[in-house]
Amino acid sequence: MCQLWLLLGAVICFLPVSVYLLENGLARTPPMGWLAWERFRCNTDCKNDPDNCISEQLFRTMTDLVVSQGYAAVGYQYINVDDCWLEKERNIHGQLVPDRQRFPSGMKSLADYVHAKGLKFGIYQDFGNYTCAGYPGILGYLQVDAETFGSWDVDYVKLDGCYAHPSEMDRGYPEFGYYLNQTGKAMVYSCSWPVYQIYAGMQPNYTAIIQHCNLWRNFDDIQDSWDSVQSIMDYYGNNQDTVVPNSGPGHWNDPDMLIIGNFGLSYEQSKTQMAIWAILAAPLLMSVDLRTIRPEYKAILQNKKIIAVDQDPLGIQGRRIYKHKGIEIWSRPITPLYQNYFSYAIAFVNRRTDGTPSDVAVTLKELGLVSPTGYRVEDLYEDVDYGVLTPQTKIKVKVNPSGVVILRADVQPDFNRRVPYYSTQRTPYNPLNQVFKVRSNGFSFP
């Protein structure tokens, strides 16, 4: 609680970090939506490029398409503005001002437009003197900006970390979250807190981060390339013992945007990004021109079965359980559950460059799927139903170069036993020492 001290007629309010705990009840599953940055960057040239500049017209257009093209129907709900929406100076009251030429109607009007379409509205700021693109930052104005966002009916705030000292973030990010809470308007809070500290050689305090942020960035910005996607996969695979335990309902690791449908990924690589992001329980924030996206890429983004994996209510982030000679296997525990056993999503990734598909053969038991009642297995891209398989069954998948095969294995109930399908007496799940144990000598490759 805030302790009040009267001294020389002044009231001094000490606000320890502990009172800043996030209290919005949001993001119980990873947020899904559309974000401008990777595709449209900081294009402010509305005179010469009016269709692609950062403007209220761009965001209204994308809002319309998210609804009319079926994205909202499968779960995408946020329309998020990123950097470069501001005037270069605050107004005389110290408040942020949207660029008057590119956002002539103002942010409250844009938020109202998004809400009228049944979607939610997100905005960007920076915990520094400036945003990354050089617009006014939040330092010195934390309460003012939180109140401004509340008055604009914002649903989601991304707080970047350019032009800020990483050592101040342990105090500053919680403080801004506190002011967001104080507005009375529940807003998803996306933080760049840990990534800037990692860049500075600091060890992020994830215990604090998960108490104050709904999601956070751990690693580099994604670029429009397969190399970038692979580097992010490597980061999460190589550091999973550190990052996986921090993820769960209300607080998520964020590997950055989906770049599916842009220029840098092939069809196979796009399928891989979508599958791995689902295994990682990642926010699904598309950054693509929805006006020109090709149907096959749209189908990847709207794959309901893979979205269901990403949005699984258990919120357990998956892990890389095998890596050898360019073949990787990633696994995520999901619902439904039966007794002590989870269902799973399993992704087989081929990162070889030899130009031919690779066969991977493994038993369910070697993947950690050991329920004696078996699992119903299906391919989530090809809609192949393998039926109910036992743990001893060996499955064989053919994985294209830079591609993926993602399977869902739903544990089956044993109707001959008098145990509820969703047992409340199951053993507590510990992903670090229980199910992610795979014998590498059980896998076979050509």
Q: Could you list the active site residues?
A: 160, 221
Pairing state between β 120-126 and 156-160:
parallel
CA distance 204 to 417: 47
Per-residue 3-state assignment (H helix, E strand, C coil) for the chain: CCEEEEECCEEEEECCHHHHCCCCCCCCCCCEEEECHHHHCCCCCCCCCCCCCCCHHHHHHHHHHHHHCCCHHHCCCEEECCCCCECCCCCCCCCCCECCCCCCCCHHHHHHHHHHCCCEEEEEEECCCECCCCCECCCCCHHHHHHHHHHCCCCEEEEECCCCCHHHHHHHHHHHHHHHHHCCCCCEEEECHHHHHHHCCCCCCHHHHHHHCCEEECCCCCCCCHHHHHHHHHHHHHCHHHHHHHCECCEEEECCCECCCCCCCCHHHHHHHHHHHHHCCCCEEECCCCCCCCHHHHHHHCCHHHHHHHCCCCCCCCEEEEEECCEEEEEEEEEEEECCEEEEEEEEEECCCCCCCEEEEEECHHHCCCCCCCEEEEECCCCCEEEEECCCCEEEEEECCCCEEEEEEEECCCCCCCCCCCCCCCCCCCCCCCCCCCCHHHCECC
Note the residue count of the chain: 446
Residue reference for tokens 């053993």: 427
- Name 241's Cβ contacts closer than 8 Å, sequence gap at least 6: 432
Distances (CA, A) of 330 to 121, 345, 346, 348, 406: 33, 8, 6, 7, 9
Q: Which of 257, 171, 155 is nearest to 209 (CA)?
A: 171
Tokens of 101: 């030429």
